[in-house]
Copies of this chain bind each other. A is one copy, B any other.
Amino acid sequence: MGVTKTQNFTQEQNQVATYAKALAHPARVAILQYLLKKQTCICGDLVEELPLAQATVSQHLKELKAIGLIKGTVEGTSVCYCIDQHKWEEVRDVLLNLFSSPIACQDSCC
């Protein structure tokens, strides 16, 4: 085993899970925070910023790129990364939607 039974859950449930997984590592959160602050940066900046080897940073960037949260543009020998605003808002909205549900019971349950 070891494989999530994706097909048995709703699209929304899988979407939340997918987006949450992208945020489920401090390095990826750090990358996003850095991009939010600097607007744009090259891979090398992140390698200096993060306590990880170049190969590892590149791998995290690949994951963020895979779900579309960031995009990279080749600029000479460097690659310039930035957040994809549209996807960023979509992820925010999907997560917000989950948390927007009111909690009916308040400590009185169970």
Residues in chain A within 8 A of chain B (CB atoms):
4-6, 8-10, 12-14, 16-17, 20-30, 32-33, 36-37, 39-40, 50-52, 71-73, 75, 80-83, 85, 88, 91-92, 95-96, 98-99, 101, 103-107, 109-110
* Least CB distance, A100 to chain B, in whole angstroms: 9
A104 closest partner in B (C-beta)? B39
Q: Are B82 and A36 within 8 A (Cβ)?
A: no
Q: Are B26 and A105 within 8 A (Cβ)?
A: no
Instruction: Choose among B25, B71, B72, B104 the residue that contacts A17 (Cβ–Cβ < 8 A).
Output: B25
Bound-state Cα–Cα, A36 to B36, Å: 32
Bound-state Cα–Cα, A52 to B81, Å: 40
